[in-house]
Amino acid sequence: MEHEIVRKEDLNQQDYLIEVRAPDVAKKFRAGQFAVLITNPKGERVPMSIQKAENGNVVMFIKKLGKTSVELYKYKVGDCLENLIGPMGNPIEVKKYGNVAVCSDLVCGHAENYAISKALSAVEGNHVISMQTFPSKDMMYLEEELREVSDEYYITLEDGSYGIKGHYRDVLKQMLEQGKIDMVFAGGHTSGYVPLEKLTKAYNVPTMVTLRPIMVDATGMCGSCRVFIDGEMKLACIDGPIFDAHKVNFDYLLNRVQMFKKQETIATEHYNNKMMVK
Amino acid sequence: MAKMVKTRVPMPELSVETRLKTFNEVPLGYTEEQAISEAKRCLQCKDAPCRKDCPVHIDVKGFVKKLAEGQFKEAFLKIKEDNPIPAIAGRVCPQENQCEGTCTMGKAGDPINIGKLESFLGDWAMRNGVKEELVIEEKDKKVAVIGSGPSGISCAVDLRKYGYKVTVFEALHKAGGVLQYGIPEFRLPKKVVDEELLYLQNIGVDIRLNSIIGQNVSFKELQDEYDAIYVGTGAGAPFFVGISGEGLNGVYSANEFLIRTNLMKAYNFPEYDTPLVVGKKVGVIGSGNVAMDSARSARRFGAEVYILYRRTKDYCPAREEELRHALEEGIHFMELVAPTRIFGENGWIKGIELQRMKLGKPDKDGRPRPEKIEGSEFIMELDTLVEAIGTTPNRLFLRTVPELKTSSHGIIAVDDKLMNTEGIFAGGDAISGGATVIQALGEGRKAAKSIHEYLSKS
């Protein structure tokens, strides 16, 4: 059966993993790309980060947040998605960067962290330093797997209950100070990219971030995901989703992602009511 | 000879009041009796000018004659000889510039309502399960068609009739291209599109959805597997005006506005997941069919709507029927204005600055060029803006196939056989940058013929 869910696991109380049968997507996936998921015939097209694609299966990390992610959480192993389309977007350039920090502080970012760390570790001359941030110890995941695909690994927790207390930016700052970082890849909270960009700019270190504007078709047709890079309009779906953080207009992006907030609440309420009636 | 009837059999339409509450189709269609009466008005001119100006040269005179005689099946099959999707073309063709524009009856009264007779027959055949009976002589060669819009459909159908194995690759999760994502339900019901597409499957065309050439299928793979390729990728990427404020919330490309509405069914939100935010006062920049589609959709979402156009209504490129429907539905038409900037508040659009224009000397297509009137800028408050100023071929596809020859804005270059490079043909909006459904159909057919000649030689 196409797009069958073959594995579903909780990552923590909010985040979960699903592994879906999708040989077409898996065959072409490269680090940095994403997929578009549709749960049912009335569903929206949702861009999803991919952790890995192996043996014809695609593994995605998802936060229970909006209507679709909550609905999808109810799907069981053996159920099928309406569609999983991709890979979309451009992969990162896999080459020798030297000392590369790969950082994440949000579910989608953690998935990308794994894909990017793994791809870059395979290049001779790269020293991959993977960093994750979570609120607390009970929320953390992926440590073991990330250690396997990186040369150095750091975990920072906001409450300090394990690893280093603080944010990955604190660790990164120390390393930048010591001149240990040649390149940064980051994925996660868009608001977090703003201080990150300021930090790495001070040390003149190139920084690539994954942008997550709202998308509809994700094939370059609607223009919903337009972002401004060095003042020029680009589409995150086909020109990105990964861009040079030093050139991104973040104010614009942070505003754009708010556009459908009210409707997202309506959709969730509608879904919850429907579930209650059932 | 029967008495000349100067006026058309009126087309029953939904009342304006009902239209504004639904996305249902506006024209209700002729009954069998009405269609026959309308067809009987045809003078059966010897020179049949109606056929000449049709991009696919439908034997209009022939099908109207059969229809006037009540021979619906024969009339339907007559159209099918030249047009694979009559139920669609009858609804969306700009007939006033083609068959109906040259109709002799038009000189004495109303031209024959050819479009509505065509869609009547398409609908009649669907309702009655009447199909063309084809005997296909299978050939070994295979052709890939990229894009399932009008040109891809017609090219695929003809290639299949020649006997080739045809696979159509569609990037979206539904087939039909602009017929599916662009043209609204009230103008072209998706049920009609889906039914017409079933015909492709019935004659053995393989349609592969979610196949994005350059992303999950490479062009090289197509070249290796197929003997010829037809590129019918359309002009799916939006142009933006390029003024400040286009990043504000509440500003859409017409493509986004219509994709959310049509493909994703935002008018049924939250039953369908995808929303659309439509404010109380909506401006639409442009005045082509896409602008009308956006404006009329916005009206159905309950907004007060303004078309903002830099020329006057007389030069509006939309179909006559669309403009008429838009005006009936209470859409305001602001003439001789061009946007200069968009301004906002708290991240949302609050209004637009417009500059007054005047009509100048004719440009190369004969329409007067709009000229700015300096110092005439004024402010109009709006909470939603839709930009419908045209589209361009999608660079996602183009950049993965650098060997394709292109001209400006990524428009695919072709010779008089619609060939780009050895074995690769193209047609539709991908080579025109944006034209009509019927022109795309015509090019799809022409390319199929060229592909057949090409494959017969090799």
Per-residue model confidence as pLDDT tens for chain A (278 residues): 589 999 999 999 999 999 999 999 999 999 999 999 999 999 999 999 999 999 999 999 999 988 999 999 999 999 999 999 999 999 999 999 999 999 999 999 999 999 999 999 999 999 999 999 999 999 999 999 999 999 999 999 999 999 999 999 999 999 999 999 999 999 999 999 999 999 999 999 999 999 999 999 999 999 999 999 999 999 999 999 999 999 999 999 999 999 999 999 999 999 988 888 76
Q: Give the ranges where B95-135 is alpha helix by DSSP (H).
A: 99-102, 105-108, 114-128
Do A249 and A120 fall within a single domain?
yes
Residue A135: inside a domain, yes or no? Answer: yes
B342 to A2, A261, B276, B345, B351: CA distances (angstroms): 46, 22, 20, 11, 6
Cα–Cα dist B166/B206, whole Å: 6
CB nearest B347 (choices: A87, A255, A262)? A255
Residue A47: inside a domain, yes or no? Answer: yes
Place of tokens 């072409």: A28
| CATH superfamily membership of B142-236+392-457 | FAD/NAD(P)-binding domain (3.50.50.60)
CB nearest A228 (choices: B247, B269, B347)? B247
Residue A267: inside a domain, yes or no? Answer: no
Confirm or reject contact between A273 and chain B (CB < 8 A). Answer: no
Residue A200: inside a domain, yes or no? Answer: yes
Q: Between chains, do B394 and A221 touch, taking CB under 8 Å as contact?
A: yes
Is residue B134 classed as helix, strand or coil in its secondary structure? coil
CB nearest A260 (choices: B236, B253, B277)? B277
Do A200 and A64 fall within a single domain?
no
Do A144 and A235 fall within a single domain?
yes
Q: Which whole number is the average pLDDT over B18-24? A: 94
pLDDT beyond 70 at B1 = no
Q: Between chains, do B259 and A255 touch, taking CB under 8 Å as contact?
A: no
pLDDT at B2: 59
Render pLDDT for A109-157 as a digit per residue (tens, 0 to 9): 999 999 999 999 999 999 999 999 999 999 999 999 999 999 999 999 9
Q: Which of B194, B216, B278 should be substituted to probe chain A, the one whose Cβ sees the most A Cβ atoms within 10 Å?
A: B216
Confirm or reject contact between A164 and chain B (CB < 8 A). Answer: no
pLDDT at B408: 77
pLDDT at B424: 94
Q: Between chains, do B249 and A42 touch, taking CB under 8 Å as contact?
A: no
> What CATH number did the domain enclosing A230 receive?
3.40.50.80
Q: Between chains, do A85 and B250 touch, taking CB under 8 Å as contact?
A: no
Q: Between chains, do A263 and B237 touch, taking CB under 8 Å as contact?
A: no
Confirm or reject contact between B233 and chain A (CB < 8 A). Answer: no
pLDDT at B44: 93
Q: Exposed e or buried b for every residue in B358-385, given b needs 16+ CB within 10 A?
A: ebeeeeeeeeeebeeeeeeeeeeebbbb
Confirm or reject contact between B249 and chain A (CB < 8 A). Answer: yes
Domain that holds residue A62: 5-88
Cα–Cα dist B257/B261, whole Å: 6
- Name the nearest CA neighbour of A26 among A60, A49, A6, A55: A55
| CATH superfamily membership of B16-128 | Alpha-helical ferredoxin (1.10.1060.10)
pLDDT at A186: 97
Do A82 and A105 fall within a single domain?
no
B253 to B99, B283, B326: CA distances (angstroms): 32, 12, 19
Q: Between chains, do B246 and A260 touch, taking CB under 8 Å as contact?
A: no
Q: Looking at CA atoms only, how far is residue B438 from chain A in angstroms?
A: 22
Q: Which of A85, A211, A222 should be substituted to probe chain B, the one whose Cβ sees the most B Cβ atoms within 10 Å?
A: A222
DSSP state of B55: T
Residue A218: inside a domain, yes or no? Answer: yes
Render pLDDT for B391-417 as a digit per residue (tens, 0 to 9): 999 888 888 888 889 987 789 999 999
Cα–Cα dist B347/A257, whole Å: 11
Confirm or reject contact between B102 and chain A (CB < 8 A). Answer: no
CB nearest B273 (choices: A68, A226, A259)? A68
Is the ipTM reported for this complex over the cut 0.90?
yes
Q: Provide the number of structural domains found in chain A.
A: 2
Do A28 and A51 fall within a single domain?
yes
pLDDT at B436: 87
pLDDT at B396: 87
Do A83 and A168 fall within a single domain?
no
Confirm or reject contact between A275 and chain B (CB < 8 A). Answer: no
Place of tokens 């022109």: B439
pLDDT at B202: 92
Q: How many CB pairs under 8 A join A and B?
A: 121
Do A24 and A162 fall within a single domain?
no
Q: Which whole number is the average pLDDT over B187-210? A: 94
Residue A180: inside a domain, yes or no? Answer: yes
Q: Looking at CA atoms only, how far is residue A217 from chain B in angstroms?
A: 7
Cα–Cα dist A205/B352, whole Å: 40
CB atoms within 10 A of CB B44: 12
Chain centroid offset of residue B342 CA: 29
Write out residues 110-129 of A within 8 Å (CB-CB) of B: none
Do A139 and A250 fall within a single domain?
yes
Q: Between chains, do B173 and A86 touch, taking CB under 8 Å as contact?
A: no
pLDDT at B398: 87
Q: Looking at CA atoms only, how far is residue B58 from chain A in angstroms?
A: 32
The whole model's pTM is what?
0.94
Spell out which residues of chain A touch residue B215, defining contact as CB-CB under 8 Å: 28, 86-88, 219
Position B363 confidence tier, pLDDT thresholds 50, 70, 90: confident
CB nearest A220 (choices: B252, B269, B394)? B394
Q: Looking at CA atoms only, how far is residue B248 from chain A in angstroms?
A: 7
Confirm or reject contact between B241 and chain A (CB < 8 A). Answer: no
Render pLDDT for A81-111 as a digit per residue (tens, 0 to 9): 999 999 999 999 999 999 999 999 999 999 9
Q: Where in chain B is the domain with CATH 1.10.1060.10?
A: 16-128
Q: Looking at CA atoms only, how far is residue A24 from chain B in angstroms?
A: 7
Q: Looking at CA atoms only, how far is residue A64 from chain B in angstroms?
A: 16
CB nearest B259 (choices: A38, A68, A217)? A217
Q: Which whole number is the average pLDDT over B19-29? A: 95
Spell out which residues of chain B touch residue A252, defining contact as CB-CB under 8 Å: 247
Q: Between chains, do A221 and B237 touch, taking CB under 8 Å as contact?
A: yes
Cα–Cα dist B259/B266, whole Å: 9
Q: Looking at CA atoms only, how far is residue B23 from chain A in angstroms?
A: 17
Spell out which residues of chain B touch residue A224, defining contact as CB-CB under 8 Å: 252-253, 256
pLDDT beyond 70 at B240 = yes
Is residue B348 classed as helix, strand or coil in its secondary structure? strand
Residue A68: inside a domain, yes or no? Answer: yes
Q: What is the widest separation between alpha-carbon atoms in chain B?
A: 71
Spell out which residues of chain B touch residue A215, defining contact as CB-CB under 8 Å: none
> What CATH number did the domain enclosing A35 receive?
2.40.30.10
pLDDT averaged over every residue in chain B: 94
Q: Between chains, do A45 and B173 touch, taking CB under 8 Å as contact?
A: yes
Q: Where in chain B is the domain with CATH 3.50.50.60?
A: 142-236+392-457, 240-389
Q: Which of A37, A221, A277 should be substituted to probe chain B, the one whose Cβ sees the most B Cβ atoms within 10 Å?
A: A221
Residue A93: inside a domain, yes or no? Answer: no
pLDDT at B409: 78
Confirm or reject contact between B357 and chain A (CB < 8 A). Answer: no
Q: Looking at CA atoms only, how far is residue B428 from chain A in angstroms?
A: 17
pLDDT at B399: 85
CATH number for the domain formed by residue range(s) B240-389: 3.50.50.60
Cα–Cα dist B428/B443, whole Å: 6
Q: Between chains, do B212 and A45 touch, taking CB under 8 Å as contact?
A: no
Q: Between chains, do B255 and A266 touch, taking CB under 8 Å as contact?
A: no
| Cβ neighbours for B191, distance < 8 A, ≥ 6 positions apart | none
**Are residues B209 and B174 in contact, defined by beta-carbon separation less than 8 angstroms?**
yes
Q: Which of A28, A90, A217, A270 should be substituted to probe chain B, the one whose Cβ sees the most B Cβ atoms within 10 Å?
A: A217
Confirm or reject contact between B400 and chain A (CB < 8 A). Answer: no
